[in-house]
A and B are shown apart, each in its own frame.
Chain A
Amino acid sequence: MASSVLHPIAARGLVRRFGDLTAVAGIDLEARAGSCLGLLGPNGAGKTTTIEMLEGLQSPDEGEISILGRSWATDAAGIRERIGVQLQETSFQDKLSVQETLSLFASFYRRPRPVPEVLALVNLTEKATARVHQLSGGQRQRLALGCALVNAPEVLFLDEPTTGLDPQARRRVWEIVEEFKRAGGAVLLTTHYMDEAERLADDLVIVDHGKVIARGTPPEIIRSLAVESIVEFSLAEGSTLDAGQLAELGGLPGVIEARNLAGGYLLEVDDTRAALGSLIGWLERSGTVATDIGTHRPTLEDVFVSLTGKHLREA
């Protein structure tokens, strides 16, 4: 790639097809040293396919990849020596201990970190001799992170690192990733959790159906929506609004767009006070009983809904 300063992770025009399905349809991305690039999208968006191409596990049908200025075609061994990877679904051997698992991975690298150092890094020192099957979900995920960090990598690839974990376990994973970033590493993270993307990602690429639908820093992306807030409400059980009524709502003062989503209703609003007033007036006029009216500042989730008409977690 002819960029003057090459970022640790750089890819251009990635395409990957499976028969008739184009899982990745032309994705560009870059991650700077000391930063995290988030790849946010629903299930099936092409996140895993993209990250596996960057990890050298799949070859792109089109496009170029450069990891730490090297190419997979000419220096695969050199790249593997310097990257850390956590796959979306790997289970370790149940009957090995944490320490044994880490020292196995350490043996693959030329200059591994000492195992006790890795244990401390991922907070598993007191679990060193526990067998893998005795670990909680969060501890297993930290072991996976430990295996990704044994070689003191410069680049870290994380594919949905906190899926299925409880909030506390997720925060512990996030802290480890933040520590890695602070030390100057570049992270590529895929997730379908917007809170994870907002917390960890310095730059964000939102993907759906293999295509980039938004990119920028999280605040930039949210600002690009040009929405002041989101008003949500639901109706009493059994009642619904028809398409005409929804259009009426969309035309109310202060409202940009009205949507019916997952059983509830949602207004994108550029003047919150005006919109709330006109919504209440409209509900009274039409004799509709609304429950749970609320407003919130727009989030990445709302950007996704606005761009695709569906939630991140469904799809």
Chain B
Amino acid sequence: MRLRQLHELTLVRFKLFVREPEAVFWAICFPLILSVVLGFAFAREEVEDSRVLVLESVGAEELAARLTAVEGLVVERGRDPEEARRRLRKAAVDALLRAGDPVDLRFDPRRPEGALARLRVEAALRGGAAVTRPEAEDETGFRYIDFLFPGLLGMGLMGTGVWAIGFAVVDLRRKKLLKRFLVTPMSRASFLMSFMSSRIVFLGLEFAVLLPFGLLLLKVPFAGSILAFAITIILGTLAFASIGLLIAARPKTVEGASGIMNVVMMPMWLGSGLFFSYERFPAFLQPFLKALPLTAVNDALRAIMLDGAGCATIWPEALLLVGWALVSFWLALKLFRWQ
């Protein structure tokens, strides 16, 4: 009895989802486009030359000559110390130098270019080309696209789960269909569950496109266990679907719901290691970032695809996702506003 409802509700949700061109675009095409754009933008990343400015003083001529001889250093000469400092602040040059013993070197340690310039200058002063020109890693598995692609898969799971479900629920509420369902013997849990089961059905379709694209066209490696991968994306989908239901549990308007969605998803876009590793955030934030569901999905997917991990490695992430799914679903069921 309950199963027939769940089956029918799931079928309806699935049909409505695929009949919504925008939803399909955001779920499938958007991650594809993003991975192509970002993938190619960062594919041939060169290590750039460092620009250094040598201020006029006794010995400046000799210093400039020594530096110019080193590969990777481009030398400018300048007279006005104020102007030179301004150029450093604007990042027009990476370091300022004044001849003397020792040589006076100024750079902005917060900028990686500054640190690189310092290394190169020091190497040059110590005696020639101690630092060879560093090569950008272009081996498969080390490219930016390899880091990025699993993150984009995770982002797609989150976006589709939260948006598609959140907006669908609010729309049903606005249409008073939720209220209409309430006067039937429909099981409320089946109703909420159908959002998750229809997402799982759609997940198959989504990954049948995304994965071959990533593996064959972008040549992203897949070193680990397919089972672990499937478990991760299914649990991720369930977690995000539950979160979508929880977000949509109360709001009456699309505007209200999308506000909450942004507040919920923003920390994950930034802090879950989507475009850069979350390890760059301060240490006290790490436990919070690691507890986010998107962090768990991204970490697990990267471990599986890049490091060849299997179920034995990713179980903590899997457990965390189960936790998110159960707690959010339970809360959604408790808080749900039907009319």
Report A's interface with B, CB cutoff 8 A.
55-57, 77, 80-81, 83, 85, 87, 89-93, 95-96, 100, 103-105, 107-110, 147, 151
Contact = CB atoms under 8 A, between A and B. Distances in A.
Contacts of A147: 180
A57 B183 CA distance: 7
Contacts of A103: 8
A107 B175 contact: no
Contacts of B263: none
A80 B187 CA distance: 11
A86 to B, nearest CB: 9
5 contacts: A92-B177, A93-B175, A108-B184, A109-B185, A110-B1
B136 interface: no
Contact of A80 (B5, B19, B185, B339): B185
A95 B179 CA distance: 19
Nearest to B4: A107
Contacts of B9: 104, 107
Interface string B17-61: 001100000000000000000000000000000000000000000
B12 interface: yes
Nearest to B181: A108
A83 B180 CA distance: 12
B184 A80 contact: yes
Question: Main secondary structure on chain A at its contact with chain B?
Answer: loop
A108 B6 CA distance: 9
Nearest to B19: A95
A151 B8 CA distance: 16
Contacts of B131: none
| Interface residue range, chain B | 20 to 34
B230 interface: no
B254 to A, nearest CB: 15
Contacts of A55: 183
Given A96-B12, A105-B184, A57 B175 contact: no
Given A55-B183, A90-B176, A100-B12, 8 more contacts: A57-B182, A57-B183, A80-B184, A83-B183, A85-B183, A95-B15, A107-B4, A107-B8
Contacts of B4: 107
B183 A81 contact: no
Contact of A91 (B1, B7, B175): B175
A27 to B, nearest CB: 20
Given A103-B8, A107-B8, A110-B1, A87 B176 contact: yes
A85 B177 CA distance: 12
Contacts of B172: 93
Contact of A57 (B7, B15, B177, B179): B179
Nearest to A76: B185
B186 A108 contact: yes
B16 interface: yes
B339 A92 contact: no
Interface in B324-339: 339
A91 B185 contact: no
Complex A-B, nearest 4 residue pairs according to Cβ-Cβ distance, in ascending order: A107-B8, A108-B186, A108-B184, A85-B183
Interface in B248-278: none
A302 B212 CA distance: 74
Given A91-B175, A107-B4, A107-B5, A77 B16 contact: no
A89 B8 CA distance: 24
A19 B310 CA distance: 60
A91 B183 contact: no
A251 B177 CA distance: 55
Nearest to B174: A91
